[in-house]
Amino acid sequence: MPTPRRTQRILAAVLLLLCSLAALSVSAEAKVHHHTWDIAYHYKSLDCVEKLAVTINGESPGPTIHATQGDTIVVTVHNKLETENTGIHWHGIRQIGSPWADGTVGVTQCPILPGDTFTYRFVVDRPGTYFYHAHYGMQRVAGLDGMLVVSAPDGVAEPFTYDEERTILLMDWWHKSVYEQAVGLASDPLKFVGEPQSLLINGRGVFEPFHCSRAPQRQQRRCLQRPRSAGCAPPPLFTAVPGKTYRLRVGSLTSLSALNFAIEGHSMTPLHLLRRVLLGPGQGRPEPVPELLGRLPRRGRERNTTSAMAILSYAGNDPRAPPPTPRPEGPAWDDVTARVEQSRSLAVAHPDHVLPVPPRPDRALLLLNTQNRIGGHTKWAINGVSLAFPATPYLVSMKRGLQGAYDARPPPETYDFRSYDIERPPPANGTVASAVYRLALGSVVDLVLQNTVALNKKSETHPWHLHGHDFWVLAYGDGKFDPERDTARFNLRDPVMKNTVALHPKGWTAVRFVADNPGVWLFHCHIEAHVYMGMAVVFEEGVDKVGRLPKSIMGCGRSRTLP
């Protein structure tokens, strides 16, 4: 067993996602990667408790897709769910020229029906660590997700070096079905499913009653070797060779939880200092705490879910030996200051990789996030509007001019920021609508997200994810954003680019992007329950410039009536 000191030296673990390098030229020999997936329910025991999961070819999470910058990914999806539809989003892929492949049901396509086949085809134009997951109702909760790794072309130097790489996918897991969760959220009064039963690393976890940490110290080895429940796999094992440097591509596809990720006795160098850090799924506010060993204490919510554990074992050691050190604690779950500090520390680009920010926006939206009671239901709303996905996907209805298929009246650009009290739940005056912000193609847009307290008077972190674009992170602030005062604080010198950003409790976050990707794009809180409850907005830009829509995205709502 290497000493902690030695291992600190030999392992530079590398956090979260990659990074596009504008300097990289795309290889001339781009490949096409074909994948064929059967989407079906199967009984799985991901955390030693058997329950239904939505699987890809029988597995949850699904396989990691590997490709090289410039390649084309073709995924043929057979829906074998019997009565339930699906749709798969390729998280972080901008879908330039292929907006119909974004996989956002209700926005870019009709759902894929049971018995039907749908083919996603898109180019991965930048190296990086991406994800895929269901984007339909709350179906992601049921386990339909995975990773998508895009490498830099051979011979193209990256601004860091490593010997090998590993992918690490983090999930949270409930024993209640996604139906029970969703119907509970739509019920009056709202029924919250509660905290997850388990956290999973690469699809494996241990539900607390089966957890080896409950076993006496001398039995832990045996426990790790033979998980108590039949069908319960041992913890994921990562093997390493002393002296080598490992790049870890870590993705959090949790539906609710914010996690700390650490490797005991090792330090990690975040690879965020490059020009474009795609800081992950946003899901669960995934900013890493580069500290300790394979464990995932949760943060942002009071902790009552057992940490997840994986084993990092050095070649030659017994991979089932218990960890040599007690598992350390992460930051307190309610330590908001630490979280904001971390966000800020990761918001600055590497000096050699700054992508110039347009100096000023053509349009600025000030987006108040509130939890509202609307029509007897608890909803999330942006400037008082809770998004309801229309029966006809926006991309079809807007491109084809289907009147009345969505709410044509635009949503509010701002809220009454002078008098609004973010310390109080909102007045009961929200609406549910399928309204759209229409953006001028090529325009520069500022989005300032303003957090408030929810109906329970608490405020939580919301990870906001933008489809089809990256954005510059201009600032995080506490309290209420004041346009006159706070715009001057924007970092226009060296902001990092991301597609997901944290909106911290009772604070605000400002981002800027260029609306240069013809299509219709969702911008939403990546907590699965929150987007389900309407915490999202829709942007349209240059939909008239979108190419001919494939028939395969149609078949629902009014798209059925098109000639």
Neighbours of 11 (CB within 10 A): 24
Nearer to a second copy, 110 or 366 (CB): 110
Quote the tokens at residue 556. 């629902």
How does DSSP classify residue 345?
H
Contacts with 222 (C-beta within 8 Å, 6 or more apart), sequence order: 215
Determine the Cα–Cα distance for residues 494 and 489; give it in Å rounded to an integer. 13
Nearer to a second copy, 290 or 550 (CB): 550
Residue 254: CB minimum distance to a second copy, A:
20
The one-letter code for the residue type at 414 is T
Binding mask 16-55 for a second copy (x = CB under 8 A): -------------------------xxx--------x---
Which is nearest to 405 in space by CA: 261, 540, 208, 210?
Answer: 540
Of residues 259 through 318, those in contact with a second copy by CB under 8 A are none
Site for a second copy contains 115 (CB under 8 A): yes
Question: Site for a second copy (CB under 8 A): which residue of 12, 88, 110, 520?
Answer: 110
The one-letter code for the residue type at 322 is P
Question: Site for a second copy (CB under 8 A): which residue of 61, 62, 70, 111?
Answer: 111
Of residues 139 through 158, those in contact with a second copy by CB under 8 A are 139
- How far separated are the first and last CA of the chain, in Å rounded? 68
Question: Site for a second copy (CB under 8 A): which residue of 99, 137, 235, 361?
Answer: 137
The β-bridge partners of 512 are 446, 472
Question: Site for a second copy (CB under 8 A): which residue of 113, 190, 321, 364?
Answer: 113
Of residues 371 through 400, those in contact with a second copy by CB under 8 A are 389-391
Is the omega angle on the peptide bond into residue 358 within 30 degrees of 0, that is, cis?
A: no
How does DSSP classify residue 480?
-
Question: Site for a second copy (CB under 8 A): which residue of 73, 474, 536, 556?
Answer: 556
Site for a second copy contains 108 (CB under 8 A): no
Question: Site for a second copy (CB under 8 A): which residue of 29, 163, 164, 180?
Answer: 180
Binding piece for a second copy, criterion CB under 8 A, among 3-11, 107-115, 318-326, 439-447: 107-115
Site for a second copy contains 177 (CB under 8 A): yes
Determine the Cα–Cα distance for residues 477 and 270; give it in Å rounded to an integer. 23
Determine the Cα–Cα distance for residues 546 and 243; give it in Å rounded to an integer. 50
Nearer to a second copy, 103 or 518 (CB): 103
Binding piece for a second copy, criterion CB under 8 A, among 136-144, 167-175, 316-324, 499-507: 136-144
Residue 135: CB minimum distance to a second copy, A:
11
Residue 230: CB minimum distance to a second copy, A:
14
How does DSSP classify residue 433?
E
Is the omega angle on the peptide bond into residue 426 within 30 degrees of 0, that is, cis?
A: no
User: Rounded to 5 degrees, what angle do the CA atoms 27, 30, 32 make?
Assistant: 160
Q: What is the 3-state secondary structure (H, E, C) of 95-121?
A: CCCCHHHCCCECCCECCECCCCEEEEE
Secondary structure (3-state) at 355: coil
Question: Site for a second copy (CB under 8 A): which residue of 82, 154, 352, 484?
Answer: 82
Site for a second copy contains 548 (CB under 8 A): no
Please tell me the total number of residues recorded for the chain in this structure: 563
CB 490 within 8 A of CB 73: no
Residue 380: CB minimum distance to a second copy, A:
16
Nearer to a second copy, 20 or 85 (CB): 85
Determine the Cα–Cα distance for residues 351 and 261; give it in Å rounded to an integer. 26
Nearer to a second copy, 137 or 300 (CB): 137
Nearer to a second copy, 353 or 530 (CB): 530
Quote the tokens at residue 179. 């139906």
Residue 63: CB minimum distance to a second copy, A:
21
Site for a second copy contains 167 (CB under 8 A): no
Question: Site for a second copy (CB under 8 A): which residue of 36, 119, 187, 304?
Answer: 187
Which is nearest to 45 in space by CA: 311, 220, 306, 232?
Answer: 232
Residue 233: CB minimum distance to a second copy, A:
19
User: Rounded to 5 degrees, what angle do the CA atoms 416, 420, 426 make?
Assistant: 105
* Residues forming the site for a second copy (CB under 8 A): 41-43, 52, 82-86, 106, 110-111, 113-117, 136-139, 177, 179-180, 182-184, 187, 191, 389-391, 551-552, 554-557, 560-561, 563
